[in-house]
Chains A and B, each alone.
Chain A
Amino acid sequence: MSRKRILNVSRRQVIRGILATSAFGLTAKLGTACSPAGSGGTDAAAEGGASGGEPLTIGFIYVGPKDDYGYNQAHAEGAAGTASKFSWVKLVEEANVPETTAVAESMRSMIDIDGAKAIFPTSFGYFDPHILKLAEEYPDVQFFHAGGLYQEGKTPKNVGSYFGYIDEAQYIAGIVAALTSKSGKLGFVAAKPIPQVLRNVNSYTLGARSVRPDATTQVLFTGNWAEPIKEAEATNSMVDQGIDVVTCHVDSPKVVMETAEKRGIFCTGYHANQAALAPKGYLTGAEWDWTNIYSKIAEEIYAGKSLQAGTIDHILRGGLSDGFCKVSDYGPAVSAEAKAAADEAKAKLMDGSLVIYSGEVKDNKGGTVVSASEKLEQKDPKLEQMDYLVDGVLGSVGG
């Protein structure tokens, strides 16, 4: 009985205690929350009000981790490079943001909380509908998207698109691969049979066959951008077939490079420099040079130029000569002959005398895809819709 009374009292006390504690906790929490919120708010206001001389806040969003040795790392390095180049750049970044409402919310927070004036959402899938929606809502913020399709009159004015013709670097890598390979059999681990990927496979093969007409490229599609297990399986099966140089187009080439090194074959990299993953077998690689591009865009914004006013191009494209991409330093296994051939092709690509898709190009089913009289320059829209594999590629677009 007495226990019950004590219990009753203590229950009430417990409730009172909980209420008091939570009230205290709440105020304490609000207190701590207020100070950063307040200071953040004034920062944002200060940045928002200034047009020059003040720091410029730029937001970067990545679909995967920043250290994936691949697509995201390339962009993150570009962002970091830009921030370290200019003291007035204030960088805000988010990694592992899926292509859903999450990215819209991330962009919104960057604009509202951090006061970002320009945003670089770097994954292709962020574009439609997320960037398009946000761009209409925030007409003063500039959105630069990697690879998106800007359509004059249809896409909001404050959206720009940038991307590089990295297949030029793949062409060079193909030359080095073919001249290093003993068997002449090359392997390409690819994510999906979409134009961007097919173009890399084809350019790599055309590069290889430009110096070794009997070279072949076995292509395997894993079906998705990040499939480490399938990528390792694909690489292993290629080695078992006698292939002795592999490359890839997946979000993170890490697994392919490491597997190749472990099996004692050569590899050429993609997206970023993977020499550290395969110190013996890494020949060269097709790398993005986003630091260069991001610095240029940041400088233009800082100088008061904008997409809305038309003083920054809505579509920025370029290859080796425009500094969008570069070729990794040659690895120890590359012969002097291969280096010379690669450097020669590189010089020709840079000065425009070499066009990768100049006729006649046949697909691997025997049809002609680029006729003898045709010369498809890099900007040709036909190349953006590529749906074939060139002669010399083993594999099919269907799977």
Chain B
Amino acid sequence: MALSQSWRRTLESLCLSFGAILAGILLFGVFCALAGTNPFAVYGSIWKAAFGTWSTFQNTLVRAAPLMLSALCTALPARLGLVIIGNEGALVVGGLAAVSMGLAMGTAFPPFIVQVGMAIAGMIMGGIWIGAAGWLRHYRGVNETISSLLLNYVAIALLNHLVGGPLRDPSSLNKPSTFPLAEVNMLGSIPGTRVHWGLLYGLIACIIAYFLMQRTTFGFAARTAGGNIRAAKIAGLPVGKLTVMICFLAGTCAGLAGMVEVAAVQGAANESLNVGYGYGGILVAFAARHNPLAAVLISLLVGGILASGGILQRAHGLPDATVLIFQGLVFLMVLYSDSLYGKFGVFKEKPIMIEPPAPPPPSPGQEPVMTV
């Protein structure tokens, strides 16, 4: 019974999510037709640019990589009922901390140790950043959405200040940056690809997050607290600690994304750290309904959409905002589909159902005959 139920639920989520994406794509086709281009040619181009060949699929992966880690920053606290949107700030301070650590350690240590050091620095800093929002929420009653949003601005101001002042490399004349990390300390690409290691970190983090939330007592406690905070308190759960812990973990993910961005892509911290990966992550988390595994798929989808943005401009002469419209339509449909759960009878459990005792999957034509 339980098995069948979860199976139906999974089918419902899958159908609704993919249906929503399809509907978004169809609507986008209508938009393209209105803009005077052939929607089928546009679909063809999108496919070609995002998933068509291994080379273009790598483009999608490159763009998806930072989104996975960043999405967890919103997805984890959401299970506790918190809406955290401080991804950008945690990412920025994570990147700053990673660069500082990388520069401080220099070449005195083997590269691997330096990389680990940078990752830990980035994660701790990002964790503290979001953990602070969680602490303020639980112990001081500050709305976590507002505080994490405002912390973004603090982080960006901090970045601008440090990069323009104390940490500035005097030779970075027209684009103020920190001193560059030593070449040996840079994270390379995954062998055989041009995708940096951030993709793998993101995947691993999403899987760990999934198991943490769904398969451990810690995750169960967090979800309970998210479901009903008073019940959780009465049950004796340390809600305050849980809040801070989950927020800290969420922040570490975004901080790690920042570390990857500086150590694998930019090589130094500068204003390019703050280009909206955090905000992209919020969208991904919401579209994935805060499920870490779904976040992986949605990241790939968004990565694909972003990757196809170029070809829409180059091959079809559509304006550069087209890709945002595409993204917006898809997300709108995905969010709208949320309201359709339970509206379709096909996915509904029958109130009375007698399961066959042994649940081996019946082969076609050998349906177990049900008795009333």
Interface residues of A (CB under 8 A from B): 1, 3-5, 7-8, 10-12, 14, 29-30, 32-37, 40, 65-66, 92-102, 104-106, 108-110, 112-114, 124-125, 128-129, 147, 149, 192-196, 223-224, 384-385
Contacts and interface: CB of A to CB of B under 8 A. Distances in A.
A32 B44 contact: yes
B49 A36 contact: no
Contacts of A194: 173-176
Contact of B314 (A94, A102, A104): A94
Contacts of A112: 55
B270 interface: yes
Kindly state the interface size class of chain B when it binds its partner.
35 or more
Contacts of A125: 175, 270-272
Contacts of B176: 192, 194
Nearest to B8: A11
Most buried by A among B160, B175, B353, B370: B175
Given A7-B346, A40-B315, A105-B59, 20 more contacts: A1-B370, A1-B371, A3-B350, A29-B44, A29-B47, A30-B47, A32-B41, A33-B45, A33-B48, A36-B315, A100-B261, A106-B310, A109-B59, A113-B48, A113-B56, A113-B314, A128-B267, A129-B265, A192-B176, A194-B176
B253 interface: no
A194 B172 CA distance: 9
B59 A108 contact: yes
Interface string B275-307: 110000000000000000000000000000011
A100 B265 contact: yes
A207 B272 CA distance: 34
B214 interface: no
Contacts of A100: 261, 265-266, 272, 275
Most buried by B among A4, A8, A100, A193: A100
Most buried by B among A7, A98, A113, A385: A113
Most buried by B among A36, A93, A97: A36
B112 to A, nearest CB: 21
If over half of B's interface residues share one DSSP class (helix, strand or loop), that class is named, otherwise mixed; here it is helix
A4 B49 contact: no
9 contacts: A30-B47, A35-B44, A36-B48, A93-B313, A95-B313, A101-B62, A102-B63, A114-B314, A196-B173
B311 interface: yes
B364 interface: yes
B47 A4 contact: no
Interface of B: 40-41, 43-45, 47-49, 52, 55-56, 59, 62-63, 160, 164, 173-176, 196, 261, 265-267, 270-272, 275-276, 306-307, 309-311, 313-315, 319-321, 346, 350, 353, 364, 367, 370-372
Contacts of B350: 3-4, 7
A161 to B, nearest CB: 12
Contact of B63 (A92, A101, A113, A196): A101
B173 A195 contact: yes
B52 A96 contact: no
Contacts of A7: 346, 350
Given A4-B350, A29-B47, A125-B272, A95 B56 contact: no
Contact of A29 (B43, B164, B309): B43
A109 B370 contact: no
A219 to B, nearest CB: 16
B320 A96 contact: yes
A29 B175 CA distance: 43
Nearest to A32: B44
B44 A96 contact: no
Contacts of B353: 4
B321 A102 contact: no
A32 B320 contact: no
B195 to A, nearest CB: 9
A149 B272 CA distance: 19
Contacts of B49: 109, 113
A384 B43 CA distance: 47
A92 to B, nearest CB: 4
Contact of B44 (A33, A66, A101, A196): A33
A8 B367 contact: yes
B48 to A, nearest CB: 5
A10 B63 CA distance: 40
A12 B361 CA distance: 13
A116 to B, nearest CB: 9
A147 B310 contact: no
Contacts of A97: 310
B314 A110 contact: yes
Contacts of B44: 29, 32-37
A108 B45 CA distance: 16
A281 to B, nearest CB: 30
B307 A105 contact: yes
A4 B346 contact: no
B47 A33 contact: yes
